[in-house]
């Protein structure tokens, strides 16, 4: 008889990836108890696909880039074997405690479940940058908002939002270049998406940038974590500055 702890979990897991050869293997190893893992590769040119190939529980799909994260997540969700779907990014690693909590859940199809993402930088945990993210849901009752960025699972009228307490490790950045590259990419998507919705003034980029730094470095206590805390606070503030600077430029040019 199969040990219940090793029995497949009847949840489909969706993973988006691109050029993640240093982490995709660790991500997929943490998902071996799920018998339906869908990886959507959006144009990898490194060894990502080669590393994915040996995993028997993984189905691979392909797409040329991502113009809209919400639409992309809904697209891959449609391919799932199960109606319960969990979204995990390719730089996130599921922990044994998370799997244990998932197994013990009495899933309610009118509930959206958020997961606790524990941020790591080069092996160092950075609690001030931990976040909650909606990731587990029943695809027949809700879906992702169709936004280019800041997409999330809708909690529709009559539905509940419930947190999963056990953490998923988030190893998103390994270098300053990665921090800056992501800030550049997401700030551009932000400006393109919200240029007609958000009203701002000439000083908005400055105030948002400074406000972001103070929020993380002082209020959330990132100063207690040495150089990584300072680095993340500064780079996140640069990202916030760029979002509103590009938004301002977009408005002036339109």
- Determine the Cα–Cα distance for residues 113 and 86; give it in Å rounded to an integer: 9
Based on the domain organization, do 79 and 192 belong to the same domain?
no
Q: What φ, ψ does residue 216 adopt, rounded to 5°? A: -80, -45
Based on the domain organization, do 187 and 151 belong to the same domain?
no
Q: Does residue 107 form part of some domain?
A: yes
The angle subtended at Cα 206 by Cα 187 and Cα 179, nearest 5°, is 40
Based on the domain organization, do 183 and 165 belong to the same domain?
no
Domain that holds residue 216: 176-253
Based on the domain organization, do 29 and 143 belong to the same domain?
yes
Based on the domain organization, do 161 and 187 belong to the same domain?
no
Task: Identify which of 140, 84, 90 has the alpha carbon closest to the alpha carbon of residue 113.
Answer: 84
Based on the domain organization, do 73 and 193 belong to the same domain?
no
Summarize pLDDT for 108-133 with one digit per residue, the tens. Answer: 999 999 999 999 999 899 999 999 99
Contact between 51 and 27 under an 8 Å Cβ cutoff? The reply is no
What pLDDT was estimated at residue 68?
A: 87
Low-confidence stretches of the chain (pLDDT beneath 50): 1-2
Based on the domain organization, do 163 and 227 belong to the same domain?
no
Summarize pLDDT for 225-244 with one digit per residue, the tens. Answer: 999 999 999 999 999 999 99
Q: Does residue 5 form part of some domain?
A: no
- Determine the Cα–Cα distance for residues 5 and 102; give it in Å rounded to an integer: 11
- Determine the Cα–Cα distance for residues 234 and 129; give it in Å rounded to an integer: 12
Q: What is the pTM of this model?
A: 0.90
Domains of the chain: total:
2
- Determine the Cα–Cα distance for residues 86 and 74; give it in Å rounded to an integer: 12
Which residues are paired to 15 by β-bridges?
Answer: 39
What CATH number should be reported for the domain holding residue 90?
Answer: 3.90.550.10
Contact between 80 and 36 under an 8 Å Cβ cutoff? The reply is yes
Based on the domain organization, do 44 and 168 belong to the same domain?
yes
Compute the Cα dihedral for 160, 163, 164, 170 and give only its sign.
positive
Residue 150 half-sphere exposure, CB side, CA atoms within 13 Å?
Answer: 9
């Amino acid at each position: 008889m199969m040990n219940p702890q090793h029995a497949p979990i009847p949840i489909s897991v969706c993973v988006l990836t691109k050029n993640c050869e240093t982490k995709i293997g660790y991500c997929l190893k943490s998902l071996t108890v799920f018998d339906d893992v869908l990886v959507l590769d959006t144009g990898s040119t490194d060894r990502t696909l080669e590393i994915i190939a040996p995993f028997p529980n993984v189905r691979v799909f392909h797409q040329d880039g991502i113009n809209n994260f919400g639409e992309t997540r809904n697209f891959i969700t449609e391919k799932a074997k199960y109606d319960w779907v969990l979204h995990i990014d390719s730089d996130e690693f599921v922990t044994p405690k998370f799997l244990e909590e998932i197994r013990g859940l009495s899933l309610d199809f009118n509930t959206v479940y958020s997961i606790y993402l524990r941020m790591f930088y080069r092996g160092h945990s950075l609690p001030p940058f931990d976040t909650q993210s909606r990731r587990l849901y029943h695809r027949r009752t809700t879906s992702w908002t169709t936004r280019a960025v800041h997409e999330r699972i809708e909690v529709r009228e009559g539905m509940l939002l419930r947190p999963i307490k056990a953490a998923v490790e988030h190893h998103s950045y390994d270098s300053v270049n990665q921090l800056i590259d992501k800030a550049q990419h997401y700030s551009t998507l932000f400006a393109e998406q919200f240029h007609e919705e958000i009203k701002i003034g000439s000083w908005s980029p400055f105030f948002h940038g400074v406000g972001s730094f103070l929020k993380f470095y002082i209020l959330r206590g990132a100063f207690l974590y040495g150089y990584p805390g300072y680095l993340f606070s500064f780079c996140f503030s640069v990202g916030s500055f760029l979002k509103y600077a590009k938004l301002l430029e977009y408005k002036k040019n339109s």
